[in-house]
Structure formats: C-alpha cells, structure tokens
Structure 1
C-alpha cells in the first residue's frame, strides 16, 4: 500500500502546469520549466514534488528523463532529496521581486467636512435594533418556498403590507396584485422605459414624456437613455404648470411629477392642478407617473395624499424606503394600473436582479409590526427640528436669504440674490461643504426664468455635527448688501 504522502504528492503532478515548449532536449526543457515554477512561486519552498515515476507518467516522459532532471536541480540547490521525505523544493529565501518604479499617488480631493447634499437620510439613525428584530422574526417564520425561485411581483407578504400602509398613510388605492416590488424608483423607471426589454420595439411606455423644468437628473437621464424625449413644464408657486400639457407639441404620452413636494423647489401641486392633470390623462389616454419620494415627511400639517388616489388607472405611484429608512435597503415599489402589470412583469423577467427576498420579508414585518410608523414619526420630529434650526439661523444671521417651499422633506431651497449662485457654491466648497446649486437640477430645455438658489439637504449630517454644518453654510452666504 503506498504511503499517504505519495498519494498527495502524486496529485500535485497534474497541477504543476509546466511549460514544456521551447528548444532543447526533453531533460533540458523539464529542468527549465521546474526552475521557472520555483522562481514564480508556483512551487513554494518546502513543496513536496511527485515521485519521478508519477511525474513521468503525467507528462508522458521517460522515467530516467525526470530522474535526471531532479538530480540536476538537487545539485544546483533548487531541490532537496532525503530518504523517507521525498523530493522537495529547497527551503531557501525566494528571490526578491524585480524593482518597480513607484507610481505617483493619485491626487484625491479632500472629503467635505459637511455634507449638505440633498437626498440622503441620517445614516446614524437607521433603526438597527428594530430592523434586526424584524429580520429574525421574518427568517424564523419564512416558509421553505422563500428560498426557491421568487415571484417577479415581489413577496406577497410585502405587497399586502404595502397595500395597507400606502392606503392608510398616503391615500393610495392599491391591490397587492397591482404592486410590483423593485429595488428603487430608478429601477422602476428602467422597467417602464427600457427599450431593450418588454414589448417588441420598445419599453412598456413610450415617449415623449413631460417632466418638471426643475427636477431630479436621474429621472431625465433614464428616460433619455431609453430614447424617450423629455419636454419641460414650467413651475410657479402652485407647482408644475400642467395646463401646458394640452399645448405641448409634439403631443406627449405622459408626465412625470413630484406632486406632494416638488423636487427641488419644495411646493405641493395645487389641488386644481392635481385634478387638471388627471383630467388631461383621462381625456387623451395619457399617463401620470408620481414619484412620492418623501411624501411621509410633512411638518406643518398632515401629509397631502398621493395623486394616485384620484385615478388608479391613470396614475402610476412610485415609492421606496431610500428616504424614510436608507438607500442601502434596496426596496421600492410601483402601484400600477391594471393594464400595465403584465408588461412590467415581462420587462422584469424571471431572473431580474430583484430586491432580496429576505429584505422584503423583513420590511413586511417592519411595517406590520408598527416599527416603520414609529421610525417615521421619530425622524419626522428630528428633521423638523433641523429645518427649524436652519430657518431660525437664517432669520437671525442672514435675513436676506430665505428658505422657500413648504415645511416638508429632507431638503430646503435657499433663494439667493440674482447672479450669486455660482460664487456661493464655490465659497461653500472652501468652507468644506458639499451642496448643490439650484441650476444643477434645471432641465436644459427649460424656458422657466432661472433663479439663483441652493438646495440644502439637512438630513444627512450626524446630529452632533449639524450645528457646525449650519454655521459653515452661513459663512458661505453672500452679505446682505449684495441683495
């Protein structure tokens, strides 16, 4: 019976990946290949080599050829051979790697001291303990089918929880079978418009589509990447001027709005215009996409209900937990008219990069247990306090700069004296502040008169760092005599 070490060593023979090409006798070629394997580290010091009989059989060489190669390398000091221990790579220091010229270090911009960009909730406030409790409960009670192929609609537990929550908190008329879970609003828009999927010849929806003249850049980018032309609508103190939809040429097929809290200017869509845009969609077989990105966060009154409640067959309600919980929880949803459900599911496909089923079950428990409502109430109080602190600081130290829009959401717009936006953004960067000017969100084809302003996200800084961020912002603002 062969000794155990022989078996293990013999298995090495087929894994040496020796290059036996090149000029010279078979013995010379084998010696050269073994030297290279040691130099490159593929044969480390102390590695036991296969017996010469086994290596000869693996490589198709004569036994004497391999035995002579081993003997030569032992004589040169590359290998050692001892009775009872076999042939091994010599235990010696590996040759130093060839010197390389150091690459110049890439110059990285310093991280901002204060993050006042919009869109991010306070990361430190993520409800870790409550989320973990829901995750444990969801996993413990999950049926075995959870760990098999999923439903492209999303887990029914989450769709039921969302239907109840959205009806109660946002006035959405939602049947679980008309909810499709996705990884966020961007994912939802790609499913609706991506021309490489869905119905033949294009996505589920076709363009052109109207959008607000100031809005989220990723909205426009996703539509335009799918070949959908976007047409800007004007904005005033009552929100998007939806009456323009009747006169837009070429005629648009739909409109994408942020009606509860216009992004970024901050006003709600006026009730008369809410009714008007639904009437427009009914009259012309149009569609309204409603991004309800921070609808839960209204501070001066109860939140305005979702537009979708006026006509579930003409409005697609889009939402996610990226503002209320964290963008790290990649879960969003679409509440769809009945006639769009099959097309969206076809676009999503059987093996789409779906939101994690375990996260879906966790969120379902988080909602039904009441933990989600408690977290939203907590953050609503905290964000209201931050907005109030910002408004008070402006009134006391920079009264010529005002925060506009309703008391809602995770950001505010500060109106600046004409012609000062660019210089203030630069001054803020010198103060170590990351923020965006209002112009950053303007549609390139907008005809609405441009205004100077800053979009200030007051949610992202940690609680202990917020006062310092506001102080730094105030130092960057123009003096009052500029107005």
Structure 2
C-alpha cells in the first residue's frame, strides 16, 4: 500500500480567506492540476494539521468540503483517498492536423430533460415488453389511443397528480411536443396570438410558429408566469406551472386562480405542460390547473421524464371541443400515436412496477439534488429552483459569463446548458441549467469538484 502523499499546501495567514478554505483550494488545485491523482492517499486530518501548524478543525473542515464536492473519499479503516481525477484541459485528446484522427472522449451530459433510465427495474421492463407482445396485432388504428392505456393514464393521474379525468377527455399522444403540434394544427388558426413563458420550452414555440401562430413571450418570476404580462387577444397560453421550465419555480396559488379566471373572461385556452409534475420530493405533488378549471385547460403529460423516451408515449386531457378537434386532425392527417409504448406502460402500471419506480425515482433524485445543492452552496454558488424535478439553475450576471462557463465546462469534460437558448426573444437572464438524472450517482459525485469549480462565483 502506498504511503500518504506529500500535499502541497501553502497558507497565507494574513489573508482574509479562512484557513480551511485555503487548505481545500490548495488540495483541489493539486488534484485538478495532476499533482494528486486518483488513488493517492492523503494524510489524516490530524497529521496534516500538525504539519501545517493549524488546528485539526481547519483540516477536518477542508476535508469535509472536498468530500462533499467529490474530490476525496474515505475508506473505512484505511484512510482518505483522492478519487479518480476529473478530466482537465491537458488530458483531453484532440485531433491534430496532418495526423490520424484521435477520438475525443464524449462529454458527460449534465443537461435538463434526461431521465433516470438506469433506475428502471430491468426484470420489470422485460416482463412488460413480453406481456405487451402477447396482445394481438391491431386491425384498425386507435386514433384516440388504446382504451386500456387511456384507463391506465386516468388511474395514474388520479393517484399521482390528483386529477379525476373523465375517460372520454383523455387522449394518448406521442409526448408533449407532439401534443403541442397537434393542438396548434387543430385548434389554432394562422395568425392567432399565443403567449409562451419566457424563458420557456422552445420546441413548443417552434410548434406554434410552425402552425402559423404568432408567439408572444410572457415573463416569469419566482411565482411562475406573470399573468399581468399576458397580452390582450391571445388565443392560447402555454405554461409549466408545477415546475417552470427551465427556471424551476412553481406557479403560486394566486397566479393559478388569476390565470384561469383570465382564460374564462378572455376566452383562451391554457396549455398546461406537466412534463415532470410527478417528480416532487419536498411536498406532495402540486394540484393541476386542469383540476381547477377543466373547461379551459388542456393538460399534457409524458412518460419521457418519469421512465424513458423509448416508449414515445404521453397524454392529453382536454375539454370536449379540443379532443374532437384533435381527433378530426388525426383522421385527416392519417396519424396516431404508436400503440407499442402504450402497451408497455399499461403492463408496468398493471403490476405496480410504475408506482414502485416512481417512489425509487423520487428518493434517488432527492439524494442527488441534496449532493449537488450542498456542494454548490458550500462553495458560495447560488441555486434557483424548487426541490423537484431533475435539474436546477445557477444564475449568472451576464450572457458573456454564461458562455464562458459553458465553454470551460466543455473543456473539462462537462456538457452544460445555458439559459440563453431558452428565450424566444432577447435573453434577459443568464445562468446555467444543470441536470442530474442522466448519469450514475457515483459519476455525479465524481465530477462535483469540477462542476463546482466551473460554477463558483470567485474565479481563479
């Protein structure tokens, strides 16, 4: 076994920076610069304190910070070790002009919208697909979706989202984006005005514009979409009230009431995108707008965030006039959502595997968010967003700063997401959105140090 590694730590006792922070910074820089490598054993906190001439509380605090960031890990009865070194600029292989191409390692995607697919019980997954394959082939396309799927969605919404949807109001879809495309094509007319959250989901913006609608951005704040900013004359308003995308706030109760009252008074539809409404782990899932006003709200959901995009399945709950228009559009266009994913969802729900997965998913994401938020806030990095979903936002002061952080993340092996691309107009807020569901927990823990270093407010 290797002995303790010599640690290059120089303390400035005249500095206003706390000694524990100086120790942590020195060790972090030694690891990122290559002086310390994965597997190197560090001195004990007592031994390091003695060599530096400081109290043990200083070195213990530094080790605790580095452990939270994922730079070091303790082994019972053995000591404290540096974890596998995160990628650095020097370690990234590049293509050299005039030579054979050398493959560049893929970036680790820490972006929103990626589900925890590795958490799906593989035995349950295989069982559901086998059972789905036992169903006889369809002779006629089910434009509204399989009856058993729509029933399963109704039960899912009642159990996990508190929405008691009438069977005839539920339609199968191919996901939220596909549902917005159908709504825009069947309910709206070219030239209709549509209000969309800003920043918001740009695929929805593209779907509305593709149907000839005029999109007007509506500002959001810590209470969600600002209802007072919705312009007169809109035909529809698109929002994500349970977990605003991408900022992560929830729409307040007062705003919800204002929005549906305004929709009734001004005769417009509210399109409620509940893309990850099941993924709340601080309180019970928030009530849906569709529960408050089923006469003016079109509710959209998807299996892509709670399970996997593999199924290609989602749902729409809408007033009778809207469902009729969507079905007429499908008849004219000859389209319908694929039944294969619907059948798999039915089997997962029938045997209780869906409910068990959701419980595991909420627990896992809660732990991951705790790791991420703890490491960021300990380093002085501000965090936006409710304790929900699978991403958070780190606000920044300018678009230039945002672009610099994204570029540095790529240089160090991380693919991050900036807020600029979520604006239909000129960006007015800068920041980085960090997803934490698409990799393993061990991988996330291992790159926390690099992530914190990229996003910390004080730049070296």
TM-score, normalised by the number of residues in structure 2 = 0.74
Q: Are 1:212 and 2:194 counterparts?
A: no
SS in 2 for 1:233: strand
- Quote the Cα distance in structure 1 between the aligned partners of 2:175 and 2:252: 27
Number of the residue aligned with 2:113:
119
Deviations 1:52-90 (A, max 9, x none): xxxxxxxxxxxxxxxxxxxxxxxxxxxxxxxxxxxxxxx
- Quote the Cα distance in structure 1 between the aligned partners of 2:325 and 2:412: 49
SS in 2 for 1:262: coil
Deviations 1:35-56 (A, max 9, x none): xxxxxxxxxxxxxxxxxxxxxx
Number of the residue aligned with 1:411:
391
SS in 2 for 1:473: helix
- Quote the Cα distance in structure 1 between the aligned partners of 2:191 and 2:324: 16
2:327 corresponds, among 345, 348, 354, to 345
Number of the residue aligned with 2:254:
272
Number of the residue aligned with 1:179:
170
Gaps of 5+ in 2: 1-97
SS in 2 for 1:231: strand
- Quote the Cα distance in structure 2 between the aligned partners of 1:136 and 1:323: 23
Q: Are 1:129 and 2:123 counterparts?
A: yes
Assess if the C-alpha contact under 8 Å between 1:206 and 1:228 holds in 2: yes
Deviation of 1:206 after TM superposition, in Å, equals 6.8
1:466 corresponds, among 444, 450, 453, to 444
Deviations 1:355-386 (A, max 9, x none): 33233122112113221111011011111111
Assess if the C-alpha contact under 8 Å between 1:123 and 1:462 holds in 2: no
Assess if the C-alpha contact under 8 Å between 2:198 and 2:219 holds in 1: yes
Number of the residue aligned with 1:314:
296
Number of the residue aligned with 2:21:
none
Deviation of 1:311 after TM superposition, in Å, equals 1.1
Matches within 5 A, 1:106-255: 110-140=104-134, 142=135, 144=136, 146-194=137-185, 198=186, 207-245=192-230, 248-249=231-232, 251-255=233-237
SS in 2 for 1:260: coil
- Quote the Cα distance in structure 1 between the aligned partners of 2:104 and 2:165: 47
Number of the residue aligned with 1:375:
357
Number of the residue aligned with 1:475:
453
Q: Are 1:437 and 2:418 counterparts?
A: yes
SS in 2 for 1:420: helix
Deviation of 1:137 after TM superposition, in Å, equals 3.1
Deviations 1:73-108 (A, max 9, x none): xxxxxxxxxxxxxxxxxxxxxxxxxxxxxxx99989
- Quote the Cα distance in structure 1 between the aligned partners of 2:436 and 2:118: 14
Deviations 1:391-427 (A, max 9, x none): 111123x21x111111000100012344521211111
Assess if the C-alpha contact under 8 Å between 2:376 and 2:456 holds in 1: no
Residues 266 and 106 (structure 1), Cα distance of their counterparts in 2 relative to 1, 3 Å cut: farther
TM-score, normalised by the number of residues in structure 1 = 0.70
Deviation of 1:325 after TM superposition, in Å, equals 0.3
Assess if the C-alpha contact under 8 Å between 1:170 and 1:305 holds in 2: yes
- Quote the Cα distance in structure 2 between the aligned partners of 1:167 and 1:178: 14
Q: Are 1:259 and 2:241 counterparts?
A: yes
- Quote the Cα distance in structure 2 between the aligned partners of 1:222 and 1:346: 19
Residues 305 and 451 (structure 1), Cα distance of their counterparts in 2 relative to 1, 3 Å cut: same
Deviation of 1:239 after TM superposition, in Å, equals 1.1
Number of the residue aligned with 1:88:
none
Number of the residue aligned with 1:70:
none
- Quote the Cα distance in structure 1 between the aligned partners of 2:417 and 2:373: 18
Gaps of 5+ in 1: 1-103
Deviation of 1:471 after TM superposition, in Å, equals 2.1
Number of the residue aligned with 2:314:
332
Assess if the C-alpha contact under 8 Å between 2:300 and 2:316 holds in 1: yes
Higher radius of gyration, 1 or 2: 1
Deviation of 1:321 after TM superposition, in Å, equals 0.4
Deviation of 1:466 after TM superposition, in Å, equals 1.1
Deviation of 1:352 after TM superposition, in Å, equals 4.1
Number of the residue aligned with 2:382:
402
Assess if the C-alpha contact under 8 Å between 1:152 and 1:350 holds in 2: no
Assess if the C-alpha contact under 8 Å between 2:311 and 2:342 holds in 1: no
Assess if the C-alpha contact under 8 Å between 1:173 and 1:308 holds in 2: no
Assess if the C-alpha contact under 8 Å between 1:121 and 1:323 holds in 2: yes
Residues 364 and 116 (structure 1), Cα distance of their counterparts in 2 relative to 1, 3 Å cut: same
SS in 1 for 2:344: helix
